[in-house]
Amino acid sequence: MQEKIMVADTLAGINGELTRYAGMIAQTENFELKQKLKQLRNSCEQSQEELYQLARAKSYYVPAQKASEDEVAHVRGLFTQGTM
């Protein structure tokens, strides 16, 4: 299997884990469990960031073009007007 595909698959898996951690953290009332889940999530986020940096360095991932100031202002306006 190509390295690029493995990196993409791993990133997708990590992103799924982060989503699941967020859901579990929001739903648990047990303080100790919540803290442990947050630690696991933080570790997972660190792994995701390291893999993301590797993917960018090897041009496996090219981020989307940055939004223009007008686009940012438009979206900000939607949030402040309560349209969303």
Per-residue pLDDT of 35-82, as tens digits, reads 999 999 999 999 999 999 999 999 998 888 999 999 999 999 998 886
Confidence of residue 3 (pLDDT cuts 50, 70, 90): very high
Alpha helices, DSSP H only, in 28-68? 31-57
Q: Tell me what pLDDT residue 53 has.
A: 95
CB 70 within 8 A of CB 40: no
Q: Tell me what pLDDT residue 62 has.
A: 84
DSSP assignment letter at 65 = P
CB 79 within 8 A of CB 46: no
Model pTM?
Answer: 0.72
| pLDDT of 84 over the 70 cut | no
